[in-house]
Amino acid sequence: MLLLGGLTAADASTDAVIAVSSTGSRQIGKLPFAVHDAGGARLGSMIYLLGGGDGVRQHDEIIRVDPSSGATTVVGRLPAPSSDQAAAAVGGTAYIVGGYTGTRWLDTIVAWRPGGRARVVGHLPTPLRYAAVTSVGGRLVIAGGSKVDGTASSAVLEFAPASGRVTLLGRLPAPLTHAAAAAIGDVAYVIGGRSATVGTPTAAIVSVALRTRRVRVAGRLPSALSDLAAVSTRGGILVAGGRGAAGTVGTVTLLRQGKANTRTPSARAIAPPLVASSNVYAADGANMLRGPARRALPRIYVPNSQSNTVDEIDPVTFRVVRHFAVGGLPQHVVPSYDLKTLYVTNDTGNSLTPINPRTGAPGRPIPVDDPYNMYFTPDGRYAIVVAERLHRLDFRDAHTFRLHRSVHVPCAGIDHMDFSADGSYLLASCEFSGQLVKVDVQRERIVRTLSLRSGAAPQDVKLSPDGRTFYVADMAAGGVWKVDSRRLRVLGFLRTGRGTHGLYVSRDAKVLYVTNRAEGSVSVLSFRTGKIVGTWRIPGGGSPDMGNVSADGKVLWLSGRWSGVVYALSTKNGRLLARIPVGQGPHGLSVWPQPGRYSLGHTGILR
């Protein structure tokens, strides 16, 4: 999929040409000018952007975009400058439907072929802006749109290029505008959109069958969206961007046809596109705070497993500034997917204690079975509660925590995990059986098990920046396993120190910090060379366990599991900056805020 121009989250036009695939997204070029609300169509091997606006004026340029290089060239002009139109291709011709000249609403259907002149070939029953348009079987399907009187249209129209006729095919379940449309076979799908009122997005997917002339609701998006883009692919329909109830989104969703009814698509969400395909942590650079994280109080949240308490540390003064009781055996403090809440996982307390990161204040506990650890699916729909003693991964609603599905795991001591670059699967460690399990995230099922050597005790899991390798800490072997992310086979082993436990990526994504709990040290592993390039020993000994890196990348914060303290280490040279007394058995502490667009859970796996 190519995304051409559009509006940014700041509601400004952009000139970006972005390529989107299952492995992420990257900018491959620039348009001659910033523009939004244009039409787009593919003709042969080239992509064309038609008209659009920039907030000041409308454009009439037709721009050719080479999808292989991102190169752009103006190759034609519309009959009049216009924005707010939609376009689709039939054969080798692009058809531009409706729009707005800046002073006049358009009822026109304009046809254009490369090398030719754009001309009006048809008229709509009423002028329309923001209609959803796609091509099916040599005809156009035109659904909804905004009307001159300020209302939204419910009409589904059919345009036959051969005759130039526009006929009423049916009616949408409700008036709709700012939706997207794409086709699978001989069925058009009208996706998302809103009513005539701003801020009323819908998640509905409406199917339009030309053969039977039947219009009906056929599925739902993972969340309500308007102003989105949709493109048909061999695997289904890709849906990108849009505006949700909370503002602009950056997600990409794949809609597949369901097995029970091949005319009904089901939403199969994948990870939001990567900022850079070569670095899954490109959004996690120093001080790159996003959204709610910008308003969070800087604190270090320490769950004291043996004290059933949480300590909050001011990272500037190195002092405990808040202390409160939680449920039994608190193990980790987990940032929510949307960065708005922190959750303390109270293992034997069978509860989650929410914390408001803007104030640091705890909230009312949420009942959850055996939450040793917690993660979030890359689309943000579900929390994955790691129920270690129950041998389960519980997929729960990410907001209400209502149970969606429990997945039994065929191993003992499931603990930690990380996700593939495209978010399609996760790799989890099983401490007591020396195994790793691969879980298909969309299908919510175990698809493979990998056994490490006898006596292994795998702990934390972390993906390399290029997405090719999983690093797995082994507490028994005293080192880190390298596992091929594509073939799921062991590539090698790096010895670090006794009791290897936690893995944390530096803010520049150049090194991995490896905690050696039984040795009282931290190993520094270079992603470029795959070798250990340094070892930091805690003066007087210690038990560095879990934690993370500060937002500016200058401090590595770690719990002292057997020492009742928290360590602050300089990432420049490993120098101990502070040793702060806390409760008994400090475990999965969380540094907050952290850079990134969304959280996959644990003590902060952000991307």
Percent of the chain with pLDDT over 90: 85
C-alpha to C-alpha distance for 589 and 555, rounded to whole angstroms? 14
Burial (CB < 10 A; 0-12, 13-18, 19+), residue 553, is: middle
Please check whether residue 532 lies inside any domain of the structure: yes
Please provide the DSSP assignment of 354-392 as one string.
EEETTTTEE---EE-S--SEEEE-TTSSEEEEEETTTTE
- Same domain (yes/no): 364, 488: yes
Q: Is pLDDT above 70 for 501? A: yes
- Same domain (yes/no): 300, 385: yes
pLDDT score at 186: 83
- Same domain (yes/no): 96, 161: no
Least confident of 232-246, 284-298, 308-322, 591-605: 232-246
pLDDT score at 22: 61
Q: Is pLDDT above 90 for 531? A: yes
* Total of domains in the chain: 3
Contact 39, 59 (CB under 8 A): no
Q: Of 245, 273, 301, which closes a domain?
A: 273
What does the pLDDT average to over 376-387? 94
- Same domain (yes/no): 238, 253: yes
Please check whether residue 606 lies inside any domain of the structure: no
Please check whether residue 603 lies inside any domain of the structure: no
Please check whether residue 599 lies inside any domain of the structure: no
Q: Is pLDDT above 90 for 257? A: no
What does the pLDDT average to over 256-281? 62
- Same domain (yes/no): 262, 318: no
What does the pLDDT average to over 45-66? 95
- Grouping H, G, I as helix, E, B as strand and the rest as coil, residue 107 is coil
Tokens of 567: 């360590």
What does the pLDDT average to over 354-378? 97
pLDDT score at 23: 62
Q: Is pLDDT above 80 for 270? A: no
Percent of the chain with pLDDT over 70: 97
Please check whether residue 607 lies inside any domain of the structure: no
- Per-residue pLDDT band for 130 (boundaries 50, 70, 90) equals very high
Q: Of 121, 155, 176, which closes a domain?
A: 121
pLDDT score at 258: 62
- Same domain (yes/no): 80, 135: no
C-alpha to C-alpha distance for 396 and 403, rounded to whole angstroms? 4
- Same domain (yes/no): 77, 26: yes
Tokens of 438: 């691969």
Across the chain, mean pLDDT equals 93
Please check whether residue 601 lies inside any domain of the structure: no
Please check whether residue 454 lies inside any domain of the structure: yes
Q: Is pLDDT above 50 for 220? A: yes
Q: How many CB atoms lie within 10 A of CB 291?
A: 17
**E-assigned strand segments in 241-304:** 243-244, 247-248, 252-257, 265-269, 299-304
What does the pLDDT average to over 375-390? 94
Q: Of 207, 240, 273, which closes a domain?
A: 273
pLDDT in tens, 433-452: 999 999 999 889 999 999 99
Q: Can you name the residues that pair with 189 across neighbouring β-strands?
A: 182, 207
- Same domain (yes/no): 341, 469: yes
Give the CATH number for residue 41.
2.120.10.80
pLDDT score at 263: 38
**Domain containing residue 137:** 124-273
Q: Is pLDDT above 70 for 175? A: yes
- Same domain (yes/no): 31, 92: yes
What does the pLDDT average to over 536-564? 97
- Same domain (yes/no): 416, 522: yes
Please check whether residue 604 lies inside any domain of the structure: no
Report the candidate in 274, 268, 241, 242 with the shortest Cα–Cα distance to residue 255: 268
- Same domain (yes/no): 38, 150: no
- Chain centroid to CA 567: 32
- Same domain (yes/no): 293, 221: no
pLDDT in tens, 71-110: 999 999 999 999 999 999 998 899 999 999 999 999 999 9
